[in-house]
Chains A and B, each alone.
Chain A
Amino acid sequence: MAEAALLEIRGLGHEFDVSRPWLQRALRGERRRFLRAVDEVSFAIPRGQTLSLVGESGCGKSTIARLAVGLYRPSRGSIHFDGTGIVAGQAQPALRRRMNMIFQDPYASLNPRWRVSDIIAEPIRVFGLMKDRAQIAARVGGLLSQVGLTPADGTKFPHEFSGGQRQRISIARALSSEPEFLVCDEPTSALDVSVQAQILNLMKDLQARLGLTYLFISHNLAVVRHMSDQLGVMYLGRIVEMGPAEAIFAAPRHPYTRLLLEAIPSLSEPGRARVPVGGEVPSPIAPPPGCTFHPRCPLANARCRAEVPQPLTLQTAHGAVDIACHAVAEGRDRA
């Protein structure tokens, strides 16, 4: 790839300690238990491009997002931003001001006691980007208008807004420090489709004009297709298929990706029931051996139950796609 990567993630892994309280553990003679939220994840996002992560709820997308901006310390692996390693727990102001994050939960991420204008101006103040009060007020007013609110809304408190309006406030805050890299965790999930169209158009305009780089997370696959250059499909903490979004939407190969794309609701046939991905969702505390998707996979065989599949690169008309699946490697998926 010719372009230099702005964000580069190598061999990333993250575990959460989910042991019961010490006393209960002692009484039951239990050991500590860990939940592997992210495992062996590697990808790079070239400057000015969008990489999206999709996958089942709980598969580790938000954890990767938080690791990427240094909110968690990874258990394994490395994260480089423009060549510099991100170290969780260190201030690194020169690095941090160049990135920002739109959180999945717009309620929890807005301070209820602050006025909206102070919330949006916070990154500007923290990084000392502007000093002049009138200049800051003008910038905040402009951001509010860009996300479809009005400058007068700045004097209100978060609870005076609807869910989607609060989500737009958090988008305005994320944009206020003019970051180069933006992590967007479900940025439009609370928005109706017409406001969503405005926000997505705004994000694409900013990208075209300022060369922003996005790590984008959404359950809405049509939105993902619209926004993404690269796409990573995750299952239980791992990336199972990764490549140009067009290649994967045109011809999904991994059995999980195929089931995921089939589970999308259809607008043209009201009342039609969908086929959810069948089988039991495995517990991330005790993941199944081999390919973690095997209990639900229509193509699973003995090898799948024993051996973890490694990513294999396939060439397609839209570019190279990495797929971690024994059936694909053996050509069984096309039989």
Chain B
Amino acid sequence: MAALLEVDRLCVEFPTRRGVLRALDHVSLSIAAGEVLGVVGESGAGKSLTGAAIIGLLEPPGRIAKGEIRLEGRRIDNLPPSEMRRLRGRRIGAIFQDPLTTLNPLYTIGRQLVETIQTHLPLSDADARARAVSWLEQVGIPGAADRLFSYPHEFSGGMRQRVVIALALCAEPQLVIADEPTTALDVSVQAQIIALLKRLTREHGTSVMLVTHDMGVIAETADRVAVMYAGRVAELGPVASVIQEPAHPYTAGLMASIPALDRRVTRLAQIDGSMPRLNAMPPGCAFHPRCARAVAQCMAEQPGLMAAGRTEAACWVPVKEALHG
């Protein structure tokens, strides 16, 4: 299947007074039409930056230093801002991690939805308003018609997030970049949003890049998963394999830290230490200072993605045993 989106050896850098920080280092991903690619990984690993680069919203001084981003085979990383703006919203919808950057605190929820709908679709005021209500209902806002007049601060955290989701989907884009779309939501509303995203992929062939820390949501929604660590893709593969038989030791540690619902432990398993800062990257594999499997080669040579079991992992000594429990 031809990929709808291809991210090809993308590097993003932040020039600072103390030198250039490389926040994304040769990240390559692709998403087919109708596919959901899950993106997980350490906080600060570069997941949101990857999303921001795709939709052309890197905040300066951040910039794409190398690599290409293609939508249906056409480069979009070098488009002029006006063309990128047209693409955004209409063909690529974005759900940001931070709902407050998307919502204007001075306008009512209804006004923001109606304006977005009318920017992209030729609808009358009344039709646009009816559609706004229908989107609010689809994302599960109770009493939607009554709440068009509310301002963002009058909504709970989870309700604001759902408005952001409605804003991203209301122009019916081909590709949705969803950065933590369900973290502020209870499990039931979360299930409803996931069902909505899945329906869009099935019925409209919408592609989704789903960034989330919630492995349950990944397991339920994603077709393939990319695991990121320190600005690089550490592991990439089909969802069941990444969760049940991860090859990268970081992925294995990540899976082991998930608190279980069916038993209680006094202490959660954790990966000791923390991810290296961008200005203090160790040589070799960036995970080696925290890795129990590290050998001499890991400290000297940086591994690229290579086939390991059923996934691809950037690791010299991939885990072979399947996880249990």
Contact = CB atoms under 8 A, between A and B. Distances in A.
A122 interface: no
A57 B189 contact: yes
B213 A225 contact: no
Contacts of B254: 192-194
Residue from B213, B253, B266 with most neighbouring chain A CB atoms (10 Å): B213
B187 A195 contact: no
A193 B143 contact: no
A260 B275 CA distance: 35
A226 B268 contact: yes
Interface string A131-175: 000000000000000001110110000010111110110000000
B270 interface: yes
Say whether chain A's binding surface is mostly helix, strand, loop, or mixed.
loop
Contacts of A18: 150, 154
Contacts, number: 204
A56 B184 CA distance: 10
B82 interface: no
Task: Report the interface size class on chain B.
Answer: 35 or more
A144 to B, nearest CB: 11
A57 B186 contact: yes
Given A189-B183, A219-B185, A226-B259, A107 B44 contact: no
Interface in B267-305: 267-271, 274, 277
B220 A273 contact: yes
Interface string B181-218: 00111111111101100100000000000000111110
Contacts of B258: 193, 222, 267
Interface in B18-65: 40-45, 47-48, 59
A165 B274 CA distance: 12
A268 B243 CA distance: 9
B216 A265 contact: yes
A42 interface: no
A211 interface: no
A265 B187 contact: yes
B306 interface: no
A270 B239 contact: yes
B240 A270 contact: yes
B243 A267 contact: yes
A62 interface: yes
Interface in A94-111: 104-105, 107-108
Contact of A281 (B142, B149, B264): B142
Given A192-B42, A192-B43, A57 B159 contact: yes
Nearest to A63: B156
B188 A266 contact: no
Interface in B67-126: 97-101
Nearest to B253: A194
B238 to A, nearest CB: 9
A127 to B, nearest CB: 28
A104 B258 CA distance: 21
A300 interface: no
A200 interface: yes
Interface string B240-260: 100110000000011001111
A104 B213 contact: no
B43 A163 contact: yes
Nearest to A200: B268
Contacts of A273: 191, 195, 198, 220
A58 B142 contact: yes
Interface string A264-282: 1111011111111100111
Interface stretch (A70-78, A80-88, A283-291, A304-312): A283-291
Interface of B: 40-45, 47-48, 59, 97-101, 140, 142-143, 146-147, 149-150, 154-159, 162, 180, 183-192, 194-195, 198, 213-217, 219-220, 239-240, 243-244, 253-254, 257-261, 264-271, 274, 277
Interface of A: 16, 18, 20, 24, 54-58, 62, 104-105, 107-108, 148-150, 152-153, 159, 161-165, 167-168, 186, 189-198, 200-201, 204, 219-223, 225-226, 246, 249, 259-260, 263-267, 269-277, 280-286
21 contacts: A57-B156, A57-B157, A57-B185, A105-B99, A107-B100, A162-B47, A168-B43, A190-B97, A192-B213, A195-B42, A197-B257, A201-B270, A222-B259, A222-B261, A226-B264, A260-B188, A264-B216, A266-B216, A269-B219, A274-B187, A276-B189
